[in-house]
Structure 1
């Protein structure tokens, strides 16, 4: 969000925090510095809303992605690689090696994107093994501790923790818990920071695990001119199976953003080469779901949000020169759940597992050393909908059966012609549901944690709140939204919260309010404790973002919200409703509200 928050605000200062799962596991012993240097470096690049078909290596002539294509030619490409139908579930699966449904990740916003506090991540595994760990980009698995990247194994974090951001040019970003102003186009900026991290680790002689989760081509559809100009008037030759549903500006912007990603991937590869570490660095590239719009995707059915092939099939390439065979194509099914065991296997490090993982190491397939690979099922789910894929078949969430070899476009339901196969996959789906949801689907809200561990400051954005009365959200997409139309003393904003560490907290609101509406008294309360303050300083900036959009957006525009110190409140340990309401409203409204910060001062 552009100019969202004044740079320098400490969001979460940690003093000696150790997660519960780290306490229960002994570090992997590395006998010497020389031995640690033998472990390969890891770079994992994750695109956001890029479909399988958004690469020229997969046959799309509408765009050119030479750097990702080169990764595939120099490494191993998986032809059938499966991820979640939407963003946060894929990230949870990659980070934990477990189906996202097991982790508590059920959605993309309002807290549903969080995995459970006791999940153990790939970053924690590599950090325990002596790696420097850094993440640069869209996190999307929770904002508050214990879900913040710095609490889940990453030494260095630069990006945003929400599901999407409202502006891509020099937005405010989170750097290890402190809000800072970004530098230029976000994908370029994230790459700059990742490369600086890599260079620092090379100088220190420490192996690194670098995670670069880009936020493009997710909307808003913003991209620098040099990339947009290639597509603004381009006549596209390849189209979706339903061409009448294509939205030309959105489609062209997405392709331009994909070419920008490819350019940045090339920058990372050049950096590895210039540092002399390309041969000792494993590079992974994949995406988090199907395309975020109707565009060419290899005649597959479905897009982002769908459990059909087009919604969950992702490009996947992995390169490790001299160790993995160049140009090798794997046709067996695999998925994001496999990356944790695969990368630890390739790196030669052991992994503590507080919970059983679902993934398997893909090393034998990559090395082409296992002629007989066992039959496997990979399950894709979105909330309570589930689809299952084998090497030959897909059973849809509606119970339809498709032969994906003879009918890759899922045009003919053969469930009646193949009753035994259908019955087998339906039973497997039922067994899987019973396994991941042994007590039924987890539709109970989990509280947002305040003061977890030694976290000094907790961030509670409008995204995670519920509005009551006539208060409106700036977009139907909560992630980067704010509240407005706060005009009645009966209206309120609430968070279901748990204070883990009781004590005195300073409450800071981020707001806008015109001069004519100053003077409202605002109260924050929790389990009988209250603090009140007045809105006495005008701040009424314009909305931003439209000038940079290449296509009409559905998410909120952004503006420059400023802090208002409400005062100090004693928060007792326990669970309840954290409530923000107005006691009086002398003007036409209270404020537009974006964020609440609770900073523990004792």
Structure 2
């Protein structure tokens, strides 16, 4: 018998509910937000996956509120924008996952800015994916502390090159473990004041790297739950993803234990969700669609919110909700004013969390990534115009346009109106926003290969720009260019991250920006092999990494204003110049 969902009701999922009377917090609650990357709704034991063991996340879900139909965007950066701003990603300038299209417009107010104004210590540890250079870098969006990477994916998960408050450092061990350690240290240091900790873990996104401790369980496991299109499933990819999700669970357990140890659990709100559907064809509750799709399986995410002081264990939230609801929800729960924000698309879920459900209104959500799907409490209209009854047919197998023509027509009109109003200026290949060098308050600017354009014979190491490098630099007509703007004039030290075989040492390179010119030589050989394939559990399509060498090219005097930053070779004594990964410009005057 199918359960009928009432849009006004929130049910307890376990029998005896624990009274929270007398547990009201005497101070503002702390907040920890855990966001996973490419983890599907079905990649958890509590959601019915029989291969995986996720006891810590499962217990957290049962100890607070568990959302039945929580929706995000089909891919990474749009979901992050919606969580961070409380607004649909289309409004925020986010139209891509790389090369600048992932940046949240500088005039948007992010959740960390609100909480910082409200007296919170703020930090982010992990995958940012919302802009690299200031004013888009996390340190200029309200986060006091940042440790992680800003690109859409990273090519190495074991002690890789990372960003710590704008500078380049080396990580310490497996990235999820490292990020969680940093988060726990920050919490311990700032436990006397309210804190907002954002922990965007970067798995099970590819490359499919996971320590033996987690892989050994799955590498030969026979999986009994299959994707609905079983012939297209890559079993080893599924095994690796599940192993990575068990590592996530272990880290969640460590973080929750730290809150217990510090006696902070009672008054700390912990949020757990994912950024899109699964990054592969694997079991996901028979839903249609995966990462990149606007169908149910591409945009349905787990959402668990635990706050022992206020939220009753076993709370089950049935009305549909969205990632952009989290900012207004957390702000209201914490008493943080929304002053300065643009009009929000999200609405506070506080009534649903606290059982005050009278008057909750039905909503219509729009999911967009190259096409549009519309979701109400009962129906989904897909991008082809097919209407599905999601209560009777959660797998989207049989359209009901004939049985509900008025609903189909109404949602089609809604979708077209949304398209007309929201997409007129959205999705351009290049939006014209420059990459800013020397933004006030940000002494170090990263200029990666990802954001550049290779001219002549220069090629990328992968068709995926994120974490790629430029190679095949052989001629004086070759160059790399970036559309930039200097935010603050002055003297900048320029450092390159490069590789170069001994036979090619000696090239003279020129960096120019408008009238400013700096020349220098590649004087030291550094020719490490490509790496990463030895740690991948399944082959990747993204770029492999190298151990790039950091060298100082010299100093350049830059004037404030727009221009093209251009790197080229004036002299090439060997067969090539270098492989180029990254440039750092640090203001030194």
Calculate the TM-score normalised by the size of structure 1: 0.91
**Does residue 129 of the first structure (1) align with residue 115 of the second (2)?**
no
Output aligned runs, 1:34-45, within 5 Å.
38-45=27-34
Which residue in 2 is equivalent to 1:338? 325
Q: Offset of 1:416 from its aligned partner?
A: 4.7
Which residue in 2 is equivalent to 1:401? 387
Output aligned runs, 1:303-342, within 5 Å.
303-342=290-329
SS of residue paired to 1:226: helix
Q: Offset of 1:385 from its aligned partner?
A: 2.0
Q: Offset of 1:406 from its aligned partner?
A: 1.6
For structure 1, list consecutive stretches of 5 or more residues without a partner in the other structure. Answer: 1-34
Mapped to 2, the partners of 1:131 and 1:357 lie a distance apart of 22
Mapped to 1, the partners of 2:353 and 2:205 lie a distance apart of 30
**Does residue 411 of the first structure (1) align with residue 389 of the second (2)?**
no
Which residue in 2 is equivalent to 1:456? 443
Which residue in 2 is equivalent to 1:483? 470
Output aligned runs, 1:71-470, within 5 Å.
71-202=60-191, 205-382=192-369, 384-437=370-423, 439=425, 441-443=427-429, 444-470=431-457
Mapped to 1, the partners of 2:571 and 2:406 lie a distance apart of 67
Q: Offset of 1:168 from its aligned partner?
A: 0.8
- Is 1:501–1:573's contact at 8 Å kept on the other side of the alignment? yes
Mapped to 1, the partners of 2:320 and 2:475 lie a distance apart of 55
Q: How many residues align?
A: 565
- Is 1:36–1:207's contact at 8 Å kept on the other side of the alignment? no
Deviations 1:154-207 (A, max 9, x none): 1111111111111111112222223222111111111111011111112xx101
SS of residue paired to 1:323: coil
Mapped to 2, the partners of 1:490 and 1:398 lie a distance apart of 47
- Is 1:37–1:206's contact at 8 Å kept on the other side of the alignment? no
Q: Which moved more, 1:503-512 or 1:220-229?
A: 503-512
Q: Offset of 1:135 from its aligned partner?
A: 0.9
- Is 1:510–1:562's contact at 8 Å kept on the other side of the alignment? yes
What's the Cα RMSD here? 1.6
Of the three residues 52, 58, 69, the one matched with 1:63 is 52
Q: Offset of 1:438 from its aligned partner?
A: 5.3
Output aligned runs, 1:571-582, within 5 Å.
571-582=558-569
SS of residue paired to 2:527: coil
Q: Offset of 1:144 from its aligned partner?
A: 0.4
Q: Offset of 1:430 from its aligned partner?
A: 2.7
Which residue in 2 is equivalent to 1:52? 41
- Is 2:90–2:426's contact at 8 Å kept on the other side of the alignment? no
Deviations 1:499-552 (A, max 9, x none): 222233222221100010112121112223322222121111122212211111
Which residue in 1 is equivalent to 2:544? 557
Mapped to 2, the partners of 1:438 and 1:355 lie a distance apart of 19
Q: Offset of 1:489 from its aligned partner?
A: 1.5
Deviations 1:414-456 (A, max 9, x none): 3354332222222222332344345565542321111112322
Mapped to 2, the partners of 1:191 and 1:208 lie a distance apart of 15
Deviations 1:19-64 (A, max 9, x none): xxxxxxxxxxxxxxxx996111111101110000000100110111
Mapped to 1, the partners of 2:313 and 2:340 lie a distance apart of 32
Q: Which moved more, 1:355-364 or 1:437-446?
A: 437-446
Which residue in 1 is equivalent to 2:13? none
Mapped to 2, the partners of 1:184 and 1:567 lie a distance apart of 32
- Is 1:37–1:207's contact at 8 Å kept on the other side of the alignment? no
Mapped to 2, the partners of 1:437 and 1:247 lie a distance apart of 35
Q: Offset of 1:488 from its aligned partner?
A: 1.6
Deviations 1:208-249 (A, max 9, x none): 111110001111111111111110111111111011111121
SS of residue paired to 1:547: coil
For structure 2, list consecutive stretches of 5 or more residues without a partner in the other structure. Answer: 1-23
Mapped to 1, the partners of 2:295 and 2:558 lie a distance apart of 47
Which residue in 1 is equivalent to 2:532? 545
- Is 2:25–2:309's contact at 8 Å kept on the other side of the alignment? no
Mapped to 2, the partners of 1:113 and 1:439 lie a distance apart of 15
Distance 1:291 1:300, change over 3 A: same
Deviations 1:464-509 (A, max 9, x none): 1111222111111111111111112212111111122223322222
Which residue in 1 is equivalent to 2:20? none
SS of residue paired to 1:380: strand
Deviations 1:312-343 (A, max 9, x none): 11010001114112112111100110001111
- Is 2:93–2:426's contact at 8 Å kept on the other side of the alignment? no
Which residue in 2 is equivalent to 1:32? none
